[in-house]
Structure formats: C-alpha cells, structure tokens
Structure 1
Amino acid sequence: MSARRLGSLAACLALALMLLAALAPASSAAEPKSRPPFKVMMVLWRGCEDACRGFQDYLAARHVPVQYFVRHAGTLNLKFPDLVAEARALKVDLVVTWGTTATLGMVGEYDKVDPARHLTDIPTLFMIVTDPVAARVVADLEKPGRNVTGTLVIVPEETQIRAIRSYLPVRRIGIAYNEDEVNAVASVEKVRALGQKMDFEVVAKPVPRDDAGKPVASSLPDVVAALAAEKVDLIYIGSSSFILNNRDVFTRAAVEHGVPVAAAGEVPVVESDALLGLVSRYYTVGQLTGTRAEQILVEGRKPEDIPVEALSRFSLIVNMQVAHKLALYPPLLLMNAIEVIKTDKTAGGAKP
C-alpha cells in the first residue's frame, strides 16, 4: 500500500474518532443525578389507613421518590403548633392532612390564619375532609385561593338520598347530630332542604350535652330510641365526627330497634352495623389525592390553582349481615350495582 494511501486512511480514521468523541455522551461524572426524594409530612389521625395507603401507593406506582414523615396526631395527642414547627424545621416539600381536625389544626380557617401557628409557606393537601367550605378550610372549591387544596370525600347529599330511595322507599329520615360540629349542622340543613325538594320528612335530634357542654356518648341509644318512636324509616349518618366516633353503639342501637342506617362514609357500613351507603372509597380518595401531590411536587403547580374535586364514580355498599338481620335485602335491580360488605372489620376508617 502506498504511503499516500496510508496517509489518507490515517486521516479518515482520525476524523472518525473525532466525530465519535463529539457524539459520545458526557462522562458519568457529568451526567445529571436523580433528584433527592421529596419530603412529605403526613399528619394523620389514628394511623395509616386506606386513604393513606392509596396516596402512598399512587406515588410509588408513578415512581415519584418520597421520604415520608408520618405523624399520628389523634393517636398520640400531638399538638398542631409543634407539628407546624417541625414541618418547617424539616423543610418538607408538602404537608398532607387527614380529616377536618388535622387540617384546621395545621392550616387554620382561611380568614383566621395565624402564621405563627399555621402553615402558610408550605403547600398543604387535605383528604377525608367532609365539607371544606363549611369548615372554612377554603372559601371556594374551584379556586382555593391559598396554599392549600385537596379532595372531597362525601358524595353530594342529593345523590346519596336518591341511592337510598332506590333501595328503600323512605318517607321519614331521622338524623342525630352534634350541635357543636359545623359540618354536622350544615349536613342537617342540606338534608332538610332536600326533603322539601324531594318530598320526604326529616326528624333531627341533637345529642344531649353534659354540664360542661360536651355531647354525651352514652345518650346515643336513647336518641336512637326517640327517632324510632317517631316512626322514621331510616336513620342517616351524614357529616358528624361525634356519631362516627361512636358508630358501634349508635348503629347497634338502630338495628335493635329495627331501623336501618345509611351512612355518607364507608366506615359505619364496613366496620359497624349501618346497612348501606353511597360512598367514595377511602383508598380511591387517597389515590386521587396522590394525583394532586404529583401535580404539586413534580409539575410545580400551586395549590391555590388546583380545584378541590371529588371522584367521578362512587360505590353503593351494603352490609349483608345487617340486611339479613333487618330482612331488608337489596332489590334485584340493584344487585349488579352494589358492592357487598360482609363486615370483616377490615376497613380503614377514623375520625373525619
């Protein structure tokens, strides 16, 4: 091979090597590193139940790296100002609250915020809050207007009543409620308004209070007896932390009087003796809340710009053991639509 040809080959080889070097990816030292996990504080009430698990499972399935700081405010009787200070000290990226009590404790009412005691500087996301507008967590569902947003758990009352009446032709609905709870009072008023619209009567009984002004749990069987004496066709558990926390004695007393109970949440049906409920399943609500967390953490959206929304599909659940006790079985036309609950005490509920 001639010297000229060898020189040409060498030049071509050198050019090829230069092109490969230019096209090759940067060295591993220069490659961008994966970001550290997002820091998320979860302020729960009594442990990581279905909504909590749904939230965490969603983010795990989406491969969003998260370091969780889980705090059980109700179980351990933690002080919310201390949790607010801890969230700031940890420099968390997001705070997730479970229930009305924990949410108000962490962020306060929208028009009574104290920056020294409440979060204003860290995005906050709530779930399992019965009525965030009535509780004054946000002023408007479409435009929260603060560093807070979340998801809805309660199915609209009119939709619930229609589902209940497709199961039972009720004309008188009884309600027991705690007058100290804003959500509970608002729920009673909504059902009363629906009674005028949908042609049914509402018999509402406030829970008696003790000398200190606190509702008396031991009075609930008597309240149920009073509702039964007024010939109500059904007792409705709407938005009431007090009734929910005493759901076993309340629903058991109703069954003893032969009165079915319908609930706005899954816990009284799955864990206690309520007959039925048109509900948002907690696990699915947790997943929906996870989508909002992804929008905040990954997409960089601001909570104030994210509407507070509910699931688009609900579950009609029926406790068949209670149906058997009361001899109130689902109509055949509903059998394909209901989710049968056998009361194996495995639901993940708690205080709303």
Structure 2
Amino acid sequence: MRFLRGTFADTTRRLGRRGFIALAGGASWTASVRAQGLPVIGYLGSESPERYASRLAAFREGLADAGYAEGRTVAIDYRWADGQYNRLPALAKELGSLPLTVIVAPGGAEVALAAKSATAKIPIVFEMGGDPVALGVVESLSRPGGNLTGVSSLSVEVSRKRLEFMREVRPTAGRFAVALNPRSPTSDTQLKNLQAAALSLGVELIVLKASAEAEFDAMFTATRDEGAGGLVFSSDPYFAYRSQQLAALAVRHKVAAITQSRDFPLAGGLMSYGGDFSQSHRQAGRQAGRILKGEKASELPVQRVTKVELFINLKAAADLGITVPLSLLTSADQVIE
C-alpha cells in the first residue's frame, strides 16, 4: 500500500501535440514515410490525444521495450474520434485503406470492433477491458485466428466488486445506484453481474444510464435524491476518460462514488477499482512491436493483464462522513490522504 500526499495528483504526462499528430494525414503521408524505410502504425483513438496522454505514454514505452521509437524507427498515423464514437467505423475504414504495417485499436470494445470491421488484411492489436472471445473479436485467447490479437484486462469482470466495496464503506445502506453506458457492448453483461452481486448483498439497485456528458449531472442528482448509499460506475472507456469531470460532480453533489479508473480518486473522487491501464497499454505496444518484427497476429496469444488496483481517497471519505474500514485500507494499492 502506498500513501500519496495532497488532495489531487495528476498521473497524466502531457505530451506535445507534435507527438500526437502526424505531420500530414492520409495515404500520401504514409507513402512518404514508407519511402524513408519506416514501418507505419495506424493508431485509432476514441477520444482526443490529450485524453489519451497517459495511455499513449504507456504504449510508447511498450514500443520501446520491443526496440521501436516513434519518428526514428517507426512512424504512427493517428485518427481521433474526439469522443464521438459513431465516427470510429469511418476512421477505421480510412486507416484500413492505407498501406500500414499494423493498426492499434486501444480503449475498449467499440474501437476493436470498428477496426475489425474495416479490414481483414492489416494486422490489428486491440486493448480492452472486456472478454474479446465473448465479444466476437477473436476465436480464442491462445490462438486468436484472423488478423487480430491484443490485450485484455479484468476491468469489466470486476464491476461487481465495486458494488461490494461501496457496501463496505456504507454498510447500512439498502440501495445503491449503478451508472451504465447503454451504448457499451458490455453493458448488459455488467448489469447482470451487478444484479447478482446486489442479490447476494441484499441491496436494491437503481440503474442510471448515460452516454453523453450532458447526462452526467442528472446521475449524481438522482443518486442523492433517491437516497442511494453511493454510485457505482460500470467499466466503460467513456466514463474512464472523463474521470476529472465525474470527480468534480461527485464532490459538488456530495456523492460517494467508485469507478474503474485511478484518475477518479486522484482527482478527488472516493474510490476506484479496475485494471491497471498503464500495463495494458504498454503490453499493446509490445504486441505491436512483435508484429512489426514479422510475427503474425493470428499466432500471437491475447495477453491478459490480471493486475487489478484499488485506490482510496481519504479526504473524500472524510468530506462524506465515511470511515473506511481498516481491512479495505490495508488491501488498497494507494491511499490518498
């Protein structure tokens, strides 16, 4: 367990926009780079480069582990959906039309599925928190088949554990709110898991849905007005990339909440429990590096990042009048004072 001083810790490493954006887009830029003898990675992002900052840093570390450095031994052609996930299929199709060595599709099932639908020829490396087999992304973890491989974490699988942790800090509460993104391919599975957990705990669930930032405030208002003991977020990249906004709302509405991303308690929210995104994105960089060296995606096993981390913000707990059980504190990866 590691203690952090201060009320806010920013874990994202800001990188200049030059590092995020290709000097020119499209086939002409890719062909020009290839003429210089560099392999080219197509990178499909669901958000903006700023929101991906810490994830991109980890991805580049993975590339470095494999012996590649952007701008020197490999080039990257980026496409960003800027939070408009309905743009992902068109952006993926654009990348699929280019002479790329590999496409990297990190940030969840939506990105992976968009990339898969765009090309059956260019190797694809995905990164997600859900089960890629259940979602139809690959045939199996050990022998993916087709042109996709990648990295999967346990963020989706442990969504029910967040409800259990929330019950530990609010043991007398009889109902809790759950935040779901109805557009997520894993929302139905996560809701079933959360309902099963609620049944075993003997508590009632209030299901709240949001797929746009304009709907966030209403979720916290409903949690408070319904007398719920806390708000439990399902695993979803759209929520994870907006951790600071969600933390600010949790503080303003005085709502106990738990999400998948450490960025939430680091920004002032109560707790987080989910997969270590730095490890999964770094592993995606290593997988891409193996393909750059000539390995086939169909023969590269999907990597499983099994580390799950618990972050607790004690200042947030004090402001909410919560005494965090010692058993929870001792099992936390980081406690923020």
C-alpha distance after superposition, 1:8-56 (max 9, x if no partner): xxxxxxxxxxxxxxxxxxxxxxxxxxxx654322222311522221121
Q: Which residue of 1 aligns with 2:103?
A: 95
Tell me if structure 2 keeps the 8 A contact 1:42–1:96: yes
Aligned length: 288
Percent of residue pairs identical: 18
Q: Which residue of 2 aligns with 1:260?
A: 256
1:104 to 100, 113, 118: 113
Q: Which residue of 2 aligns with 1:56?
A: 60
| Greater CA drift, 139-148 or 74-83 | 74-83
Instruction: Give 1:98's aligned amino acid.
Output: P
Describe the shift of the 1:238–1:308 C-alpha distance in structure 2 as closer, same or farther (beyond 3 A).
farther
Structure having the higher Rg: 1
Q: Which residue of 2 aligns with 1:204?
A: 207
Q: CA deviation at 1:334?
A: 4.1
Tell me if structure 2 keeps the 8 A contact 1:154–1:265: no
Q: Which residue of 2 aligns with 1:288?
A: 283
Q: Which residue of 2 aligns with 1:21?
A: none
| Residues in 2 aligned to 1:219 and 1:85: alpha-carbon distance in whole angstroms | 31
Q: CA deviation at 1:289?
A: 1.9
Q: CA deviation at 1:285?
A: 1.5
C-alpha distance after superposition, 1:107-163 (max 9, x if no partner): 22xxxxxxxxx1111110011454545654345545433211221244322444455
1:144 aligns with 2:144: yes
Tell me if structure 1 keeps the 8 A contact 2:110–2:184: no
Tell me if structure 1 keeps the 8 A contact 2:151–2:280: yes
Q: CA deviation at 1:67?
A: 0.8
Unaligned runs of 5+ in 1: 1-35, 109-117, 208-214, 343-352
- The DSSP-based 3-state class of the residue aligned with 2:182 is coil
1:185 aligns with 2:188: yes
| Residues in 1 aligned to 2:273 and 2:181: alpha-carbon distance in whole angstroms | 22
C-alpha distance after superposition, 1:219-275 (max 9, x if no partner): 44333333333332221111345545665555444444433101122333334x431
| Residues in 1 aligned to 2:274 and 2:166: alpha-carbon distance in whole angstroms | 11
Higher relative CO (Cα under 8 Å, sequence separation at least 6) belongs to 2
1:233 aligns with 2:229: yes
| Residues in 1 aligned to 2:199 and 2:334: alpha-carbon distance in whole angstroms | 30
Q: Which residue of 1 aligns with 2:333?
A: 338
Q: Which residue of 2 aligns with 1:312?
A: 306
Q: Which residue of 2 aligns with 1:346?
A: none
Q: Which residue of 1 aligns with 2:7?
A: none
Q: Which residue of 2 aligns with 1:119?
A: 119
Tell me if structure 2 keeps the 8 A contact 1:42–1:68: no
| Greater CA drift, 318-327 or 156-165 | 156-165
| Residues in 2 aligned to 1:120 and 1:153: alpha-carbon distance in whole angstroms | 24
The normalised TM-score by structure 2 is: 0.70
